[in-house]
Amino acid sequence: MAVAAQVLRSEWTKVRSVRSTVWTLGVAVLVTVGLGALISKLAGDDYDKLSVREKFTFDPTFISFAGMGLGQLALIVFGVLVIANEYSTGMIRTSLAAVPQRGVFLFSKITVATLLALVIGMATSFLTFFLGQAMLGDHRAYLGDPGVLRAVIGGGLYMALITMFSMGVAAMLRSPMLSLGILMPFFFLISNILQGVSATRKVAHYLPDKAGQKVMQVIPGTDETPYGPWGGLGIMVLWVVAALLGGYAVLKRRDA
């Protein structure tokens, strides 16, 4: 326990002392909140122009999270840098020499970064919701409405989970450029393309981002997903667990 506590303190020092990781979290907050507020304002102004069907599926809570798609890219960068920076600089050899228990080393790093992402994610989610609803005006939702608090808390959980998934992938690939080169197109392009094509839409339902975002929805949409909010988050958790176990397996079996 004493060793684990020391490693946790060491990893906390690493995370907060690296300027790039701090900046990525700041960008995640600004993009998520700012874009969510802008889209909420536009959606509120255009509400009267919607069809009856569109008004029936209008989800003010989920609309306020419209910036999450871009904000998550900054969290992906954060997760990758936390893990892979030491490989690119060669510091991984020094770190593993100081902490030969590779499981303790990896999961201490993941724990610190995840807790930080969770705190930032929760604060961002609540701020995004309240600002977005203010922009929606008369079409707003309230935190006490059915399903809304779950969606807002789910938004914070989603941000933490996307960070954990990125860390698992980075631990497997051990390269920041390679990790970002795969994760960025996957979440920004491939996932959206698969969802937009009818032949592959069912596959997209089970991707980590599409499944995880289900927890932020209050009004059921027209996508006919075969699971509910917590089921979607559960699917995302399975992806995260698989990525972390894969990262641990690679770290345990390969040299630094």
* pLDDT beyond 60 at 256: no
Greater model confidence, 85 or 178: 178
The predicted pLDDT at position 190 comes to 85
CA 100 from chain centre, in angstroms, equals 30
Condensed to tens digits (0 to 9), the pLDDT of residues 94-149 reads 877 777 788 888 888 999 999 999 999 999 999 999 999 999 988 999 999 999 99
* pLDDT beyond 70 at 255: no
- In terms of Cβ atoms closer than 10 Å to its own Cβ (0-12, 13-18, 19+), residue 40 is buried
The predicted pLDDT at position 200 comes to 85
The continuous run of DSSP H or E covering 227 comes out as: none
Q: What are the domain boundaries of the chain?
A: 2-253
Q: Alpha helices, DSSP H only, in the chain? A: 2-17, 19-45, 52-56, 60-64, 68-89, 91-98, 102-136, 148-173, 176-185, 191-196, 201-204, 208-212, 229-253
Token pair in block for residue 207: 């991707």
The pLDDT of 211-224, averaged and rounded, is 85
